[in-house]
Structure 1
Amino acid sequence: MRALIVDDERHVREAIRLLVDWQAHGIEEVMEAQDVASAMERIGRDHPQIVFTDMIMPEKLGTDLLAWIREHEPAAKVIVISGHDDFDFVRKTVLYGGMDYILKPIDPEQLNQAVAKAVESRKQEDEGTKQEQRKAIEINQLRPVYWDKILTNLVEDPSYYSSIAETLRTEFGLSEDDRLCRVAVLATDTIHPTIRSKFAGSEDLLYFSLLNICNEIVRRHRHGVAFRHEHGAIVVLLWKQTGNAPALLDTVNGGIRQAFGSPLEFCLGGERPLPGGIKQSYHEANIVLRQRNMRASRPRVRCFDPDENPRLSAIHLSEFEDRMRTALRSGQEQPIRDIVRLWMNQVERMSYINTEQLELWNHEYSVIRARWLKELFGDLPAVPSRSAESAFANAPVDQEGCLVLSALAEGLEQDLLQLSRQWAEHQRQDEHVIFEIVKYIDSRYAEEITLQDLADRFFLSREYISRKFKQQFRENLSDYIERVRMEKAKLLLMNPQYRIAQVAELVGYKDEKYFSKVFKKQEGLSPNEYRKREK
Structure 2
Amino acid sequence: MKALIVDDEARVRKAVRLLVDWELHGIDEIEEAGGGFEAIQMMRLGRPAIVIMDMMMPEGSGVDLMAAVNEFAGTVKFIVVSGRGDFDFVREAVRHGGIDYLLKPIEPEAINAAVAKAAKQWLLEEQERNDRQKQSMRLNEFKPVYGEKLLTGLINEPSTATIVLRRLHEEGLVPEGTRTARMALLQVDASDKQLHERFAWDSDLLHYAIINICNEFLVARQNGVAFRHWGAATEIVIVVWGNGENLLGILQEINEGLFVTLQRRMHMGLGSPGHFPDAMPMHYEEALSALHRRNALDANDYTHSSTETAAVKRMTFTDCEEEWKVAALSGIEGQLTAVSGRWLEAARLSGYLSPQMLEEYKTDVLQFCVRLLRDAPGRQAVEENGLLSTEELSEHSPYAHASALSIQAWRDWSYELLLRLSQAIAQRQAQEKAKMSDIAAFIEQQYQTELSLQDIAKRFFVSREYVSRRFKQEYGINITDYITGIRIDKAKLLMVNPNLRVAKIAEMVGFHDEKYFSKVFKKQEGVSPKAYRAGLTI
Q: Structure 2 length normalisation: TM-score? A: 0.70
73-82 or 261-270, which deviates more: 261-270
The structure 2 residue matched to 1:300, chosen from 281, 299, 302, is 302
**What amino acid is the match of 1:214?**
C
- Partner residue, 1:254: 256
* Residues 1:328 and 1:107: Cα distance change in structure 2 (over 3 Å): same
The structure 2 residue matched to 1:272, chosen from 261, 271, 274, is 274
1:168-193 deviation digits (Å, cap 9, x = unpaired)? 34655632243320001124469878
**1:213 equivalenced with 2:247 (yes/no):** no
155-164 or 86-95, which deviates more: 155-164
**What amino acid is the match of 2:277?**
P
3-state SS of paired residue (1:78): strand
Aligned pairs for 1:108-187 within 5 A: 108-158=108-158, 160-165=160-165, 167-169=167-169, 171-172=171-172, 174-187=174-187
- Partner residue, 2:84: 84
**For the residues of structure 2 that align with 1:433 and 1:75, how far apart are their CA atoms?**
83
3-state SS of paired residue (2:237): strand
The structure 1 residue matched to 2:399, chosen from 391, 394, 399, is 394
- Partner residue, 1:285: 287
How many residues were matched structurally?
Answer: 454
Does the 8 A contact of 1:396 with 1:408 survive in 2? Answer: no
Does the 8 A contact of 1:172 with 1:225 survive in 2? Answer: no
1:239 CA drift (Å):
0.8
1:221 CA drift (Å):
0.4
* Residues 1:292 and 1:72: Cα distance change in structure 2 (over 3 Å): closer
**1:466 equivalenced with 2:461 (yes/no):** yes
Does the 8 A contact of 1:183 with 1:268 survive in 2? Answer: yes
Does the 8 A contact of 1:391 with 1:408 survive in 2? Answer: no
1:325 CA drift (Å):
4.0
**For the residues of structure 1 that align with 2:278 and 2:196, how far apart are their CA atoms?**
36
* Residues 1:372 and 1:133: Cα distance change in structure 2 (over 3 Å): farther
Does the 8 A contact of 1:215 with 1:225 survive in 2? Answer: yes
3-state SS of paired residue (2:52): strand
1:34-54 deviation digits (Å, cap 9, x = unpaired)? 332222223223322211122
**For the residues of structure 2 that align with 1:160 and 1:119, how far apart are their CA atoms?**
54
1:345-372 deviation digits (Å, cap 9, x = unpaired)? 6545644443433332232223233445
1:292 CA drift (Å):
2.5
* Residues 1:209 and 1:68: Cα distance change in structure 2 (over 3 Å): closer
Identity rate, percent: 31
Does the 8 A contact of 2:153 with 2:161 survive in 1? Answer: no
Does the 8 A contact of 2:243 with 2:273 survive in 1? Answer: no
- Partner residue, 1:231: 232
* Residues 1:127 and 1:252: Cα distance change in structure 2 (over 3 Å): same
Does the 8 A contact of 1:22 with 1:28 survive in 2? Answer: yes
- Partner residue, 2:447: none
**For the residues of structure 2 that align with 1:244 and 1:292, how far apart are their CA atoms?**
21
3-state SS of paired residue (1:18): helix
**For the residues of structure 1 that align with 2:36 and 2:153, how far apart are their CA atoms?**
61
Does the 8 A contact of 1:391 with 1:415 survive in 2? Answer: no
**1:46 equivalenced with 2:83 (yes/no):** no
1:16 CA drift (Å):
1.5
**For the residues of structure 2 that align with 1:415 and 1:304, how far apart are their CA atoms?**
33
Does the 8 A contact of 2:76 with 2:122 survive in 1? Answer: yes
**For the residues of structure 2 that align with 1:17 and 1:193, how far apart are their CA atoms?**
54
**For the residues of structure 1 that align with 2:193 and 2:459, how far apart are their CA atoms?**
42
- Partner residue, 1:413: 415
Does the 8 A contact of 2:49 with 2:77 survive in 1? Answer: yes
239-248 or 254-263, which deviates more: 254-263
- Partner residue, 2:71: 71
Aligned pairs for 1:454-493 within 5 A: 466-467=461-462
**What amino acid is the match of 2:293?**
Q
Does the 8 A contact of 1:291 with 1:356 survive in 2? Answer: yes
**For the residues of structure 1 that align with 2:149 and 2:217, how far apart are their CA atoms?**
22
**For the residues of structure 2 that align with 1:242 and 1:40, how far apart are their CA atoms?**
55
Does the 8 A contact of 1:395 with 1:408 survive in 2? Answer: no
Does the 8 A contact of 1:223 with 1:241 survive in 2? Answer: no
* Residues 1:189 and 1:111: Cα distance change in structure 2 (over 3 Å): closer
Does the 8 A contact of 2:183 with 2:238 survive in 1? Answer: yes
**For the residues of structure 1 that align with 2:49 and 2:345, how far apart are their CA atoms?**
75
**For the residues of structure 1 that align with 2:54 and 2:281, how far apart are their CA atoms?**
71
Aligned pairs for 1:431-510 within 5 A: 466-467=461-462
**For the residues of structure 1 that align with 2:145 and 2:77, how far apart are their CA atoms?**
40
**What amino acid is the match of 1:182?**
R
3-state SS of paired residue (1:219): coil
3-state SS of paired residue (1:74): coil
**For the residues of structure 1 that align with 2:6 and 2:194, how far apart are their CA atoms?**
58
**For the residues of structure 2 that align with 1:281 and 1:326, how far apart are their CA atoms?**
45
Does the 8 A contact of 2:255 with 2:265 survive in 1? Answer: yes
**For the residues of structure 2 that align with 1:370 and 1:228, how far apart are their CA atoms?**
37
Does the 8 A contact of 2:80 with 2:100 survive in 1? Answer: yes
Q: Which runs of 5+ in 2 are unaligned?
A: 439-457, 472-506, 513-538
Aligned pairs for 1:336-351 within 5 A: 336-344=336-344, 346-348=346-348, 350-351=350-351
3-state SS of paired residue (2:31): strand
* Residues 1:365 and 1:134: Cα distance change in structure 2 (over 3 Å): farther
Q: Which runs of 5+ in 1 are unaligned?
A: 437-462, 475-519, 526-535
1:33 CA drift (Å):
2.6
3-state SS of paired residue (1:21): coil
3-state SS of paired residue (1:242): coil
- Partner residue, 1:15: 15
1:314 CA drift (Å):
4.2
**For the residues of structure 1 that align with 2:142 and 2:129, how far apart are their CA atoms?**
20
**What amino acid is the match of 2:394?**
E
**For the residues of structure 2 that align with 1:429 and 1:130, how far apart are their CA atoms?**
68
* Residues 1:55 and 1:210: Cα distance change in structure 2 (over 3 Å): closer
Does the 8 A contact of 1:391 with 1:412 survive in 2? Answer: no
Aligned pairs for 1:338-377 within 5 A: 338-344=338-344, 346-348=346-348, 350-372=350-372
**What amino acid is the match of 2:36?**
V
1:384-408 deviation digits (Å, cap 9, x = unpaired)? 55654268652387x8x5x554553
1:40-71 deviation digits (Å, cap 9, x = unpaired)? 22322332221112223335432222222322
* Residues 1:162 and 1:75: Cα distance change in structure 2 (over 3 Å): same
Q: Structure 1 length normalisation: TM-score? A: 0.70
